[in-house]
Each structure stands twice: as structure tokens, then as C-alpha cells.
Amino acid sequence: MSSTPTIGVLALQGDVREHRAALEASGARAVAVRRPEELAAVDGLVLPGGESTTIDKLLRIFELYEPLRARIADGLPVYGSCAGMILLADRVLGGTSDQQTLGGLHATVRRNAFGRQVDSFEADLPFAQLDGGPVHAVFIRAPWIEDVGDGVDVLSRIPDDYPEPVAGKIVAVRQGSLLATSFHPEISGDRRVHEHFVQIVKES
């Protein structure tokens, strides 16, 4: 692959522009993906934050659901943030009755997990595989990961000094070339998560 990978951002709903800017700042060429032909042309893909139930429906309307599942099964590197993490997980708790996920990430995700008290908040989190200290994480009606299966590395958790039941919850994982975070690095100005994903795409 050339030294500048082409990374798509699924552009059906959500904070597409912020991810494109973060990817461009991290050494990738970022393109919007709305059609199967556009999906076929990317080296990696970001599933942005937004509303997972809406993106789930739009994936079908835009006839991207099956092609995207097929590319994930084929090893496409994908980074899912917040709603994108929900879409990437094999199982979702707290979804709507008809909500489905693309799957691929062997994990169970709980949607809108943080509840009213802390449904949007910011935190500095230790993050495995990244140099330079804690990552500044912005959570917006975020999911957490309830459990992980084989081959999934936990990269970040909510610190233990947070109140129960939030303390210790898993908020970032990696399974091979799949990366997922509960939070939104694309709006914090900390580029390290995007840089890490660009590196994963380059190495895949």
C-alpha cells in the first residue's frame, strides 16, 4: 500500500466531517462513503458517532449493509466510535427491538449505557498501545462494552475511582484490525487514536 492510505468515513449520518479532518491530520486521505463503489475503493473505514439506529436503517436503504459485512469479514480495517462501536459489535443490549449490527467485533455493547447522571462527560483515560499519557475522551450518550470474546484486547477502561456501576467499564478495544472506542477522539483534538488507526490500516 502507498504511504498515504485512503480511509473512508461512512457518511450516512453522524460526525463525518470531524473524522475526515482527524484522518487527514493523521496522514491518511479521507473520503466519504455512501455507495458500494466508494466502499470498494477504501483501504480502511471509520464508522462515526451519531445515532446507531438511524445509521443501521440507512445502511440498508443505501444497500451498503451486505457489502460492508462482506468487507469486514474479509479483513477490512474498521474503526468504530460511539454509535460506530455499536454497529461493529456482534451483540447490542439496550437497542431498539429491530436494531441489528454489522458485527465482526466479538463483543457485547450496551447502548446509552452511562445513564442520566453521566450521560455526557469528559475524562482522561489510560489507553494501551498509545504513547504520550492518558487520552482525553469525550463521551456523548455513549455505549460501553459489557463483555469481550476471544481475540479482543481491552485498550481502555473507566478509572476505578468513578462511581459504580461505571468504574472499570471497558471503553476501547482492538481485535486485529478492528478498533472501537465509546468516546469521540475526533472532537477532542487528541489525534493519537486516529494516528493509531491509520497505522493499523498501513500494516494490514
Contact 162, 27 (CB under 8 A): no
186 catalytic residue (yes or no): yes
Quick check: helix, strand or coil at residue 47?
strand
Catalytic residue among 18, 19, 184, 194: 184
63 catalytic residue (yes or no): no
Closest residue by Cα to residue 63 from 33, 42, 87: 33
- C-alpha grid cell for residue 151? 481475540
Find the part of the chain contacting ligand GLN (CB under 6 A) among 27-35, 48-56, 160-168, 171-179.
Answer: 48-56
Query: How many helices (DSSP H) and strands (DSSP E) are in the chain?
Result: 6, 12
Q: Of 143-202, which residues contact ligand GLN (CB under 6 A)?
A: none
Distances (CA, A) of 51 to 97, 116, 167: 15, 17, 25
Q: Of 49-78, which residues contact ligand GLN (CB under 6 A)?
A: 49-52
Burial 128-165 (b: 16+ CB within 10 A, else e): eebeeeebebbbbebbbbbebeeebeebbbbeeeeeee
Catalytic residue among 19, 38, 63, 82: 82
Host H or E run for residue 20: helix 16-24
Site string for ligand GLN, 126-145 (x = CB under 6 A): --------------xx----
Decide if residue 111 touches ligand GLN (CB under 6 A). yes
Decide if residue 5 touches ligand GLN (CB under 6 A). no
Least distance from C-beta 187 to ligand GLN, angstroms?
A: 10
24 catalytic residue (yes or no): no
> Closer to ligand GLN at the Cβ: 5 or 172?
172
In the annotated binding site for L-glutamine, the residues are 50-52, 111, 140-141
**Catalytic site residues?**
82, 184, 186
Chain contacts with ligand GLN (rule: CB under 6 A): 49-52, 82-83, 86, 111-112, 140-141
